[in-house]
Structure 1
């Protein structure tokens, strides 16, 4: 059984006949609808190309997506909405990797579809990295945003763009890169705070600081926003927690987008990245503080934790001492805060899906969820970083839902961040003006160009993985858009941990243990994190 339904092309004669009949029926239905309506106009898009939402977290590991905590015998997930509304309604890529697990290089590869050694953004600081390095290279004006904008898409960026953004004295952080119609990006200079006290570039105008960071030497977590604050402007509460503000900006931009125009929204969260100022680490929203105290650490990845035999590792690891009990405690708390900070991201996923459903645009929108890189929580005796090509840093989540994608499936097809841009371009019918290293995931694996030189044992385009030879299903032959209708989406309060999705090539959707329903409206955000959409997805 394929992840996507097979598509066969009708004969030209049959196609012409169908078009004639369809045109006649459309004309008749239009007359009847006009006669039956009482001034109510149903908005129909003149542009049937799909829209795209790319959600990218910062430093989220694969395990954190599936992390859960047992509370009174019930497994409470850290990200239940993301699993229910994207993974269970789409496809999970079990073998998704980033070639260079560091913020700027990874994010630039996603934008350009090119490896770091080809886009030449090779670090987080100038001259070869950071926003300054990015701006000095072709990637600045040749990327997914410029290509889609040239094709008629409305392009929107919200959140963290690249390290060092806003640290350029020549523009004082007012730079809006080419290709973006709407720009709401947080300044990421070293002097800028993360979750409170941050500054935004809103379409070329600096605004902020949002929220009072307080005293960074003495402040306590959980004392910023009202505990009932899910996201501004809900209930008239001015919520300044950074993730909440990003969620609200995304809702505003979606509702302000013309129904006649396809859009590309890239929502780049800072969470679960930690601030380096004291007290260091991720900062959860007030309402989520201590909600994951005692979470398993590291979740499902104990094999390499505080590794004993490191003889096969580089010298700096061989010479590293075992983690002390104090270090283990420190990173256990860090891990807990990372999970808690992701809960507001998860609520943002639900807000986006609710909003698209209320606008009747969900069925023709691809939603892509991923992370820029992982993080080390004691694996191989490593703490507090990424960069190295080990699984915790490179093996990341990739979830996609959208037209033609069969719900609740998984694939063992190898994928990378360089594949996201060409995938979107193919689905949008757009083209890049520069060469791309990645391959569209919307194409059959056998038809993709090779990304490396052939070897003596494997010619170009030959099956690239033993997993595929063992019977794991590759990504299907085409992602042609197919309108489908299924039951209303519901987000669970708790489910199983979800790790089974990563252990087999095909899974069934996880069933929520409980759910509630409410109406979603495109004119105002849903009433809070507990509501669920009532539209058909």
Structure 2
């Protein structure tokens, strides 16, 4: 049966009977409903998935990305999506496996507590969404960035041309932060790219991504394509055509920018001086560079959407736009950085368009990066394993009635970071907190630091996290939040999903 005929048959059946629960839906989490005339058509049995994962992209950049805004108009924006760790490697390990950092064992960017080698040694590579989808007959591709420590350099030796399990096509480098002068591992063959305009990494992988999508569609094979950019991670190098754009932009001046009084903040932050004019100018310059750097990512999205549309496959393809963590620029007197528990760093974009997703919709319920792996598996018609800590977002994407859903997000961070070789090493006043664990609710942020410091913010009254109210918060409520943190810090699988 042709794909179009199958889709029409599914739509006809949906008008007569209630749809069965999705394969990836945890037991007791959702009961799908019959679709109305205004509900988008039912998805294909094995839709394509295009996942764009950016690096350090904060919400304040989306306003300058027209194709991302088009994606919002075509699909659903998750208004409360949080990462479980604001550092690159732990976050990406969680995305790949659906497990919190304390379960992947990837707590930092470098051994012995993190990085590619730890991810590999602990068996995580056998439990990624790529492995699951490839086994189910999907063509899978990763292009751009993998995990910190996966670097095609002489020091890495055997890993120079290593291709992890689960990937049909592999076009990856570990040294792409500048977007120039890198070695790309193309399915086990290294190719050097220099400093010519055509060597710009986002341009290179956009072409390869479009080619992969076209070949997969021509072969009539379902595919998952992950476009994993280094942009806008520092140095936030823009494509040549964007180098002088947005000349008059300034970093957003939110109420928390260069915060006047931080005497109530934790001890690691409390002694930070107010930003001087030169530092503010540097922050504005960094913001302009970040906006310039994401223009090539935005064109990547536009090019992939156009390629899929040209093949007539838009109705069978999910587009997922996301970031591994957020970024702060001037808030709470912090220069450039991302390692805090504040919303600037933990609350990041997640936008999904595709079959069954209502155009222009906004989802307020909580989602985390633990949810992406089971969501991709559920999109492919698979049942996510019990070991994942997250839940499939498919019921929310399809506007199915959900009887219960999480009301908290959990964040864990291992610090401080003093490794000079780490591309995420914070600047002096960029924010380098000690180890902490945090719970984010709809109206609260609660943080426990390993050194004994505590933070509590009433976000309903103080959305910019200006006043630490830990001393004034009701003891009963603090006890509840402490209990939630204690449950999260050791949970696994179903126990995490039930919190």
For 2:186, the equivalent position in structure 1 comes to 202
Cα separation, 2, equivalents of 1:406 and 1:446: 16
Contact 2:408 2:442 (C-alpha < 8 Å) held by counterparts: no
For 1:181, the equivalent position in structure 2 comes to 168
Which deviations, in whole Å up to 9, do the C-alpha atoms of 1:59-101 show, x marking residues without a partner? 01011112xxxxxxxxxxx2111211x1100011111111211
Cα separation, 2, equivalents of 1:11 and 1:442: 19
Equivalent residue in structure 1 for 2:359, among 402, 407, 422: 407
Cα drift, residue 433 of structure 1: 4.5
Q: 1:381 to 1:151 in 2, by over 3 A?
A: same
Corresponding position: 1:10 with 2:16? yes
Greater helix share, structure number: 2
Cα drift, residue 141 of structure 1: 1.5
Contact 2:87 2:325 (C-alpha < 8 Å) held by counterparts: yes
Which deviations, in whole Å up to 9, do the C-alpha atoms of 1:105-157 show, x marking residues without a partner? 11111111111111111111112211112111221221100011111111100
Contact 2:366 2:406 (C-alpha < 8 Å) held by counterparts: no
What are the residue-to-residue correspondences of 1:267-278 with 2, within 5 Å? 267-274=227-234
For 1:211, the equivalent position in structure 2 comes to 194
Equivalent residue in structure 2 for 1:318, among 264, 270, 278: 270
Cα separation, 2, equivalents of 1:465 and 1:317: 23
Contact 1:187 1:201 (C-alpha < 8 Å) held by counterparts: no
Cα separation, 2, equivalents of 1:431 and 1:49: 13
Contact 2:177 2:230 (C-alpha < 8 Å) held by counterparts: no
Gaps of 5+ in 2: 1-10, 19-43, 410-439, 444-499
TM-score (norm 1): 0.65
Cα separation, 1, equivalents of 2:90 and 2:103: 11
Contact 1:423 1:440 (C-alpha < 8 Å) held by counterparts: yes
Corresponding position: 1:139 with 2:124? yes
For 2:50, the equivalent position in structure 1 comes to 53
What are the residue-to-residue correspondences of 1:58-457 with 2, within 5 Å? 58-66=55-63, 78-84=64-70, 86-166=71-151, 169-188=156-175, 194-208=178-192, 210-212=193-195, 225=197, 239-257=198-216, 258-274=218-234, 281-298=235-252, 302-433=254-385, 435-443=387-395, 446-447=402-403
Q: 1:9 to 1:127 in 2, by over 3 A?
A: farther
Q: SS at the partner of 2:265?
A: coil
Gaps of 5+ in 1: 13-46, 67-77, 213-223, 226-238, 275-280, 454-463, 468-537
Which deviations, in whole Å up to 9, do the C-alpha atoms of 1:176-214 show, x marking residues without a partner? 0110000000123xxx66211111000011110x123xx
Cα drift, residue 293 of structure 1: 1.3
Contact 1:423 1:442 (C-alpha < 8 Å) held by counterparts: yes
Q: 1:293 to 1:115 in 2, by over 3 A?
A: same
Cα separation, 2, equivalents of 1:418 and 1:251: 28
Contact 2:134 2:166 (C-alpha < 8 Å) held by counterparts: yes
Contact 2:139 2:222 (C-alpha < 8 Å) held by counterparts: yes
Q: 1:141 to 1:81 in 2, by over 3 A?
A: same
Cα drift, residue 313 of structure 1: 1.3
Cα drift, residue 325 of structure 1: 1.2
Cα drift, residue 170 of structure 1: 3.8
Cα separation, 1, equivalents of 2:379 and 2:149: 32
Q: 1:466 to 1:451 in 2, by over 3 A?
A: closer
Contact 2:262 2:270 (C-alpha < 8 Å) held by counterparts: yes
Count of aligned pairs: 371
Q: SS at the partner of 1:173?
A: helix
Contact 2:177 2:236 (C-alpha < 8 Å) held by counterparts: no
TM-score (norm 2): 0.70
Q: SS at the partner of 1:171?
A: helix
Question: Superposition RMSD on alpha carbons, in Å?
Answer: 2.5
Cα separation, 2, equivalents of 1:448 and 1:427: 20
Q: 1:148 to 1:395 in 2, by over 3 A?
A: same
Contact 1:323 1:381 (C-alpha < 8 Å) held by counterparts: yes
Cα separation, 2, equivalents of 1:61 and 1:11: 42
Cα separation, 2, equivalents of 1:351 and 1:174: 28
Q: 1:254 to 1:378 in 2, by over 3 A?
A: same
Q: Which protein shows a greater Rg?
A: 1
